[in-house]
């Protein structure tokens, strides 16, 4: 019985030897080594990028004409209603005080100075009247609004006048600057004649130069 075990062991060693020294075997182990190496590179080097807090204050003109996809966002606003539908039924209100939670759809700031929100929402309170699990369309001229849980892979602003700053104390005044912001999650709000975009970002670029900030 023991000689059978010895024979099996010799056969296994022989097969491994062929694999190590043949072209097929070398290719196999190269692939295996590469896979293992890639795994550790992902785990230890290519993990989720670090984020830091940034605030961009700029003329609201840079957002007009922009449409953004949103998911699980929240919106609150005051102003004059141009059109409102809830589950395809029109609402006759003129002045609007609205709070919407869990929106999946789109957000637009039009060139006519209105804000449009459309999609499905978990909850909405419209002038104190609550609704749940509804499809909404809101077109309003706001005097005040805030869009939170607002996430975008990338913003590109070709001409920005205002200021950008970080929580770490870095700041820069902008005059017709080209600004890119990546991996953003945060809030967009109206502040008089300006818009304020504030939240976490993975990277931002001013006039073609990446600003390097050490996260806390």
User: Could you count the other beta carbons within 10 Å of the beta carbon of residue 11?
Assistant: 10
pLDDT at 189: 97
Give the torsion sign (CA, 172, 199, 53, 212): negative
Domain-located, residue 39: yes
The pLDDT value given to residue 211 = 86
Residues 19, 88 within the same domain: no
Residue 215 lies in a domain: no
40 and 58 belong to one structural domain: no
Same domain membership, residue 67 and residue 30 = no
The closest alpha carbon to 94, from 72, 70, 75, 78, belongs to 78
Tell whether 119 and 80 lie within a shared domain.
Answer: yes
pLDDT of 48? 56
165 & 59 share domain: yes
Residue at 31 is within a domain: yes
Of 135, 36, 33, residue with least CA distance to 91? 135
State which residues form the domain around 109. 52-210
Q: What span, in angstroms and rounded, lies between the C-alpha atoms of 6 and 165? A: 72
33 with 98, same domain? no
- Number of structural domains found in the chain: 2
- The predicted pLDDT at position 122 comes to 97
Position 122 in a domain: yes
- Cα distance between residue 170 and residue 201, in whole Å: 14
Sign of torsion, CA 84 81 148 204?
A: positive
Query: Would you state the pLDDT for residue 51?
Result: 86
Residue 140 half-sphere exposure, CB side, CA atoms within 13 Å? 28
Same domain, 160 and 178: yes
Specify whether 121 is located in the same domain as 146: yes
58 and 81 share one domain:
yes
With beta carbons less than 8 A apart as the criterion, state whether 181 and 56 touch: yes
3-class SS at 21?
helix
Q: Are residues 100 and 202 in the same domain?
A: yes
Assess whether 38 and 102 both reside in one domain. no
Residues 28-58: b if buried by 16+ CB within 10 A, e if exposed: eeeeeeeeeeeeeeeeeeeeeeebbbbbbbb
pLDDT of the chain, 216 residues: tens digit per residue: 554 444 445 455 455 454 444 554 444 444 444 444 444 434 444 555 688 899 999 999 999 999 999 999 999 999 999 999 999 899 888 999 999 999 999 999 999 999 999 999 999 999 999 999 999 999 999 999 999 999 999 999 999 999 999 998 899 999 999 999 999 999 999 999 999 999 999 999 999 999 887 655
Residue at 216 is within a domain: no
Residues 60 and 25 in one domain: no
What are the CA-CA distances from residue 135 to residues 9, 74, 85, 102, 195 (Å)?
A: 69, 14, 8, 11, 27
């Amino acid at each position: 019985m023991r000689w059978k075990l010895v024979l099996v062991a010799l056969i296994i060693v022989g097969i491994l030897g062929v694999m190590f020294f043949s072209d097929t075997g070398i290719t196999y182990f190269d692939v295996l080594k590469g896979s293992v190496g890639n795994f550790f590179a992902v785990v230890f080097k290519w993990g989720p990028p670090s984020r830091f807090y940034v605030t961009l204050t700029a003329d609201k003109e840079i957002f007009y004409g922009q449409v953004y996809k949103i998911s699980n966002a929240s919106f609150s606003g005051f102003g004059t209603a141009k059109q409102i539908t809830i589950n395809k039924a029109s609402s006759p209100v003129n002045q609007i005080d609205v709070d919407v939670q869990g929106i999946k759809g789109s957000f637009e700031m039009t060139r006519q100075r209105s804000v449009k929100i459309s999609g499905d929402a978990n909850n909405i309170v419209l002038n104190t009247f609550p609704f749940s699990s509804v499809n909404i369309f809101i077109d309003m001229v706001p005097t005040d609004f805030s869009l939170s849980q607002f996430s975008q892979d990338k913003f590109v602003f070709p001409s920005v006048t205002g200021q950008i700053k970080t929580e770490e104390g870095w700041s820069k005044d902008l005059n017709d600057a080209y600004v890119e912001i990546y991996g953003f999650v945060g809030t967009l709000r109206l502040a008089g004649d300006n818009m304020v975009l504030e939240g976490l970002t993975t990277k931002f670029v001013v006039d073609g130069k990446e600003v390097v900030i050490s996260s806390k």
